[in-house]
Chains A and B, each alone.
Chain A
């Protein structure tokens, strides 16, 4: 049981480049989330999805896009990388039948934009 798998683990981008952060879960969870965590700071919600085909903005969505074509995958797209997007990105998932379910986090992607 792999849980939540994120790739890549590390990446360096140049300003203006684009990339996709991959996230996959094998727990058949309906909810998936993307967070960013700046050094010494808390978790900020970028986007979330309550099921395949449904996505919604979180607290800091600008500069990012997501899609949810399957239950398992929830990729995060950066179109025009900016230095302000240097951060650690965590994907998470949860099984929501009611409100009492914890989130399971991936190991994170450490992204630097120079």
Chain B
């Protein structure tokens, strides 16, 4: 089955800095890669996703890049703000199978004012 590794487990930055979270996956048939943000005590919510036919996607201060050859994808947050502090989960889903995603273990992002 699919295996997703996520790094780092904790990331501490100063407000205004950039943050990068990286995930690697094992199954080359994976074709959908969502990112979820979970604030303390809240539910995970989708913030951005990317399909395997796209190399990069941006939404304001958030971007995701995908390298299919190396089987890794990354979340980039620019000009971080205290409200970006949360746990971020990556996931990978194999196309044509049961569509059950495999999640990374999460990254706790702390943005210091």
Task: Write the residues of chain A forming the contact surface with B, with a CB cutoff of 8 angstroms.
Answer: 31, 33, 41-43, 45, 48, 50, 56, 58, 90, 94, 96, 98-108
Contacts and interface: CB of A to CB of B under 8 A. Distances in A.
16 contacts: A31-B99, A33-B100, A41-B105, A42-B104, A42-B105, A42-B106, A43-B44, A99-B32, A99-B95, A99-B99, A101-B32, A102-B34, A102-B49, A103-B101, A105-B45, A108-B43
A45, A94, A100, A108 interface centre (most CB from chain B within 10 Å):
A100
B45 to A, nearest CB: 7
A105 B98 contact: no
Contacts, number: 55
Interface size range on B against A = 20 to 34
A41 B42 CA distance: 14
B20 interface: no
B25 interface: no
A50 B34 CA distance: 19
B96 interface: yes
The SS class assigned to the A binding surface is loop
B100 A48 contact: yes
A94 B93 CA distance: 13
B100 A45 contact: yes
B95 A106 contact: no
Contacts of B99: 31, 50, 94, 96, 99, 101
A48 to B, nearest CB: 6
